[in-house]
Chain A
């Protein structure tokens, strides 16, 4: 028994580089060996999908795409699936990026342009979507956008005036919050100011796309109805992709590709916790 405990205690002293190697293999192998896993669609994802399905033709969706390379792993899939849904249903959308990162608009452009090139070649900038770019100001900017979008933005990221009907026909019918059906804010940790300063004042539905680790603080808004839906990390985006494409063979989004490596990464962390505790119990047993 003492020998067993000593062996287990040795598990406390594994060189961290073995753990790094284990995680690297767990993340890389599923990318090399394609495999599919069943997807459980959570209520917060389904609510967002169904809400967008009900969007009337005269309204637009405002997408606050405020993420960059740091959280690309989680956020890119979240905007990709929603952009695909909007483009497929021909629901017009306006992209903005409030406060968090000035790189947000360019990352959003990259995703939209790829979707248009590969799946929706007939959709046109200025007609089906517009990117207004980055703005500072936090909740003050949100208030201005709600009152009159032209108070905060004079031109889009291409330099066209918002009143330029030839290049931006879409913006001629987007004036203020009354024209917006849903605000979808995607970033590592979305600003709750959208709820306080827009949803509570105007009643406009809000949805979030956030990193998995940040999601725990937002469930309370789902329960209270202040959030219409939420995509949680890669998992939420993969669930949304499953709703968009009931046939698993048609799921090509980044989130669907990443959910398997992420699953094995989680397993690796769980394994590390178990090994660490076995070592701890072994050391305690040996000391007795």
Chain B
């Protein structure tokens, strides 16, 4: 294994290990954790009532206090936030949960940097295309212009007025919004022709599927109600559609997701332990 792959595998394992341990290790040392109801908060300690007895938890560095929420989960609090009657779990911290905001911040920043990396990568590719006058190099010029205009327009968002705000409104309202909507609306035309060409009743199973699809499609729109409103409510198309979605669909989706999640756990383990092979994992031939 070369140094680069070893480094990636090592970093992947360490970061994965942190989240795994943070999930399984309790936030306080279990054998030194006291649980009970707050009786009194003193300057140097908190008095707890635990199964008829009273326990004193000293206020000293390294102690963590977790207050129970109404839903049963616990939240980290400072001693000053406690009031008599609170359900409390207190003990020496295991530190893993304390580091969670810092580790999370690191990954949030890292993910934001991926955008910058993407921009640099695109700039290199398009810059080379322009420099070498490759075919259709003018599209690469358009890319740089679009990025520049987009960045200038972005700076105008949130401003009360001025020319930057005008550029922002021009790009956002007159370009991005109609262009984005237009591209997405093409989907409706593709769906219609795909339904016309592909949705054939070739078997009994296909008949069941098409029957369910028609009920749900009609049940999802007001015309379904208009067509069947004279019938008893249980025979209304929206009612039948709801039954299909809540009962039949949910059973199928739950079964599917159960399988998907088992696969995701296996894949996650392979990623974590760097057992995955392929072009994205340092093997350019995809082995």
Contacts and interface: CB of A to CB of B under 8 A. Distances in A.
Interface stretch (B3-11, B82-90, B140-148, B242-250): B242-250
A143 B104 contact: yes
Contacts of B100: 143
A220 to B, nearest CB: 5
B103 to A, nearest CB: 8
Instruction: Report the contact-size class of chain B (Cβ under 8 Å from the partner).
Output: 35 or more
Interface of A is mostly: helix
A72 B177 contact: yes
Nearest to B179: A69
Given A40-B238, A147-B101, A158-B158, A276 B197 contact: yes
B195 A69 contact: no
Contacts of A89: none
Contacts of B201: 277, 280
A157 B111 CA distance: 20
Interface string B167-192: 00000100011111101110011011
A202 B69 contact: yes
A184 to B, nearest CB: 19
Which of A72, A136, A148 has the most chain B CB atoms inside 10 A of its CB?
A136
B222 A201 contact: no
Nearest to A265: B188
A33 interface: no
B71 A202 contact: yes
A161 interface: no
A43 B245 CA distance: 12
A233 B219 CA distance: 13
Contacts, number: 173
A270 B184 contact: no
Contact of A268 (B72, B172, B192): B192
A127 interface: no
A277 B199 contact: yes
Nearest to B210: A273
Contacts of B214: 270, 273
Interface stretch (B51-59, B124-132, B223-231, B265-273): B223-231
A216 B249 contact: yes
Contact of A73 (B185, B197, B199): B185
Interface string A128-159: 00000101111011011001100110000111
B178 to A, nearest CB: 8
A137 B188 contact: no
30 contacts: A16-B193, A20-B189, A37-B226, A38-B225, A40-B238, A42-B238, A69-B178, A69-B179, A72-B177, A73-B184, A136-B108, A136-B115, A137-B111, A140-B104, A141-B104, A141-B108, A143-B100, A178-B75, A201-B73, A202-B69, A203-B69, A203-B71, A216-B249, A219-B245, A264-B223, A270-B218, A272-B192, A272-B195, A273-B196, A276-B197
Interface of B: 69-73, 75, 100-101, 104-105, 107-108, 111-112, 115, 157-158, 172, 176-181, 183-185, 188-189, 191-193, 195-197, 199-202, 210, 213-214, 217-218, 220-226, 229, 236, 238, 242, 245-246, 249-250, 253-254, 257
